[in-house]
């Protein structure tokens, strides 16, 4: 069963969450029960495929061992090579899932959510390395975090220290009422976005474009229309899914971070990446770009710090691109965004010196317009229609 | 570690004197600090005050103004 894929899924989780809601409204904890229903929902999601289920279990046990093992090691020692090996081991299954199909091995290994569990696991290894996870981690809580069913298939990617705090906080009856209401609100936003807007845009525009326009549009106009329609479809579909995930998490007392914050109103491309698929872009920012730049700055291999930053951007967006799939359009999509960010950064620094581009509502409106179109062109590449 | 030293460091990194005028300014909101600026800040904090702040510990919500940064660093000294 695909999470949030049909109305039956919502009826089942609505039913399963009733005791959670009743406990919450009385200010009582529901942690144990929530862990119990997670197992049921995971069985529903993954149960249809035997290889999928076995892969998921083996993969999770592997990640649990890796995280706990590295943490145990880190209590005593802190060798860089052990750290790097732990990170590489953690991403190895994801790399295999992406590479094996290219070698013709399709159904050997691979299941829904492998990326998102990997992101959480790598994050924990890095935070352990930084000395931020000093307390012993409960195996059950860690498994619950990795496999938290509202977000297991496609995020948003939560952070362990934040998640754990929510897990150990029992909201008062009034606090829970607020959580519940905002959770239900998110779920309805999700219905509007995914099942109405994304559905309509897809079935009445995207499927016909760019070619089947009955001579109503020229081929070029058809391409343009496809670009915008696809961009809005992508947004409403994924923002809708994310709203479901955030909403269900809140009903379970976990304030999963939001993924979208009005991305099409971004003033510039940096602003856009703080508003679009936020938990993913923050993950890449914190665990790829910033670590890379810091490491290069300390090693002093390249003198010019801006060069280091630009290499960092290319690395980030290249990885983000191929993470979507090992196909050319994803690679180009990544490099295109790296180019946009680097160009904007150069412009921003140039303008700091010369102050030729003032900050007022007109320049801001122009910035929003330009960013929107640049971003839509990016999704046009991303859609794979070009190559 | 004087507070003035921290403000001077931020002026160097953000290349803007507004930090001295308004030490409660939100550095990320105003575009004075981004991921790249944050790295330079962490490196400078290490160089100037010998305090090592891991990237993962630098939460933008908590380190967003000059005054808050000064407070955070005072805690760690």
Quote the ipTM score.
0.89
Q: How would residue A109 be classed by pLDDT, with cut points 50, 70 and 90?
A: low
Q: How far apart are CA A64 and CA A134, in angstroms?
A: 16
> What residue in B sits closest to A359 (Cα-Cα)?
B30
Contact at CB, A126 and B56, closer than 8 angstroms? yes
Chain-centroid distance, C-alpha A15 = 27
What single-letter DSSP state applies at residue A354? H
How far apart (Å, rounded) are the C-alpha atoms in residues B2 and A118?
A: 43
What distance in Å separates the CA atoms of residue A184 and residue A99, rounded to the nearest whole number? 39
CATH: 1.10.1200.10, 3.40.50.460, 1.10.1660.10, 3.30.470.20. Which one for B3-76? 1.10.1200.10
Give the distance from residue B36's alpha carbon to the nearest chain A alpha carbon, in angstroms: 7
Cβ pair A93, A59 in contact under 8 A: yes
pLDDT at A312 > cutoff 90: yes
Grade residue A108 by pLDDT with cuts at 50, 70 and 90.
low
**A309/B36 CB distance under 8 A:** yes
Q: Say if residue A82's pLDDT is above 70.
A: yes
Length of chain A in residues, anyone? Answer: 387
Rounded Cα–Cα distance for residues A292 and A295 (Å)? 5
Q: Tell me the HSE value of A270 on the side-chain side, using a 13 A CA sphere.
A: 19
What is the widest separation between alpha-carbon atoms in chain B?
29
Annotated active-site residue in A324, A329, A337, A354: A324
The Cα angle at residue A114 between residues A110 and A120, in degrees rounded to 5: 160
Quote the pLDDT of residue B77.
78
Report the residue of B36, B62, B63 to disrupt the A interface, i.e. the one with the largest count of A CBs within 10 Å.
Answer: B36
Sign of CA dihedral A356, A361, A362, A364: positive
Average pLDDT over residues A81-106: 89
The whole-number pLDDT of residue A107 equals 61
pLDDT bucket at A167, cuts 50 / 70 / 90: very high
pLDDT at B2 over 90: no
pLDDT by residue (tens digit) across A186-215? 999 999 999 999 999 999 999 988 888 777
Assign A307 a pLDDT band (cuts: 50, 70, 90): very high
Active site residue A277: no
CA–CA dist A90, A69 (Å, integer) = 12
Decide which of A51 and A382 is more confident. A382
Chain B touched by A320 (CB under 8 Å): no
Contacts with B, A 248-287, CB within 8 Å? 270, 285-286
Torsion of CA A129, A131, A136, A138, to 10 degrees: -60
Sequence-separated contacts (24+) of A19-24 with Cβ below 8 Å = A20/A251, A20/A252, A20/A253, A21/A180, A21/A251, A24/A171, A24/A173, A24/A176, A24/A179, A24/A180, A24/A251, A24/A253
B18 — pLDDT class (breaks 50, 70, 90): confident
- The answer to whether B12 faces chain A, any CB pair under 8 Å, is no
pLDDT beyond 70 at A366: yes
Radius of gyration of chain A (CA): 22
Under 8 Å between Cβ of B42 and B68 = no
Q: What percent of chain B has pLDDT over 90?
A: 36
Query: Comparing C-alpha atoms, which of A258, A224, A223, A261 is closest to residue A244?
Result: A258
Rg (CA), chain B: 11
pLDDT at residue number A125: 96
* Whole-number average pLDDT of chain A: 93
Q: Please report, for chain A, the start and end positions of each structural domain, with discontinuous segments joined by +.
A: 30-167, 173-240, 264-382
């Amino acid at each position: 069963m695909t999470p949030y894929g049909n109305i039956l899924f919502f009826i089942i989780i609505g039913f399963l969450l009733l005791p959670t809601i009743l406990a919450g409204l009385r200010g009582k904890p529901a942690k144990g029960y929530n862990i119990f229903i997670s197992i049921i929902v995971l069985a529903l999601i993954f149960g249809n495929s035997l290889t999928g289920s076995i892969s998921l279990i083996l993969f999770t046990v592997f990640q649990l061992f890796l995280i706990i093992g590295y943490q145990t090691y880190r209590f005593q020692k802190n060798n860089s090579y052990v750290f790097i090996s732990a990170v590489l081991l953690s991403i190895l299954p994801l790399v295999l899932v992406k590479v094996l199909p290219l070698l013709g091995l399709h159904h050997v290994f691979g299941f829904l959510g492998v990326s998102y569990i990997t992101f959480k696991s790598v994050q924990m290894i890095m935070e352990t390395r930084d000395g931020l996870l000093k307390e012993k981690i409960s195996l059950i809580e860690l498994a619950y975090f990795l496999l938290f069913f509202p977000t297991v298939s496609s995020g948003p990617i939560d952070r362990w220290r934040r998640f754990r705090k929510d897990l150990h906080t029992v909201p008062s009856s009034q606090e829970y009422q607020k959580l519940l209401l905002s959770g239900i609100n998110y779920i309805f936003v999700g219905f509007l976005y995914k099942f109405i807007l994304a559905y309509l845009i897809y079935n009445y525009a995207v499927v016909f474009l760019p070619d089947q326009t009955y001579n109503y549009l020229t081929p070029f106009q058809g391409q343009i229309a496809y670009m915008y329609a696809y961009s809005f479809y992508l947004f409403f579909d994924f923002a809708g899914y994310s709203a479901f995930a955030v909403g269900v998490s809140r009903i379970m007392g976990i304030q999963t971070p939001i993924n979208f914050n009005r991305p099409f109103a971004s003033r510039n491309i940096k602003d856009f990446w703080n508003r679009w698929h936020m938990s993913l872009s923050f993950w890449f920012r914190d665990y790829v770009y910033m670590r890379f730049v810091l490491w290069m700055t300390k090693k002093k291999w390249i003198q010019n710090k801006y060069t280091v930053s630009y290499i960092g951007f290319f690395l980030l967006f290249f990885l983000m691109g191929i993470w979507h799939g090992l196909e050319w359009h994803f690679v180009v999509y990544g490099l295109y965004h790296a180019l946009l960010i680097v160009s904007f950064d150069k412009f921003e620094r140039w303008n700091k010196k010369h102050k030729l581009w003032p900050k007022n509502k007109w320049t801001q409106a122009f910035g929003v317009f330009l960013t929107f179109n640049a971003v839509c062109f990016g999704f046009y590449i991303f859609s794979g229609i070009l190559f | 570690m004087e507070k003035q030293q921290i403000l001077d460091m931020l002026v160097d990194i953000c290349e803007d004197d507004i930090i001295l005028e308004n030490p409660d300014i939100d550095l990320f909101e105003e575009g004075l600090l981004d991921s790249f600026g944050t790295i330079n800040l962490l490196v400078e904090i290490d160089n100037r005050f010998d305090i090592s702040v891991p990237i993962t510990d630098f939460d933008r919500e908590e380190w967003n103004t000059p005054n808050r940064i000064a407070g955070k660093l005072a805690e760690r000294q």
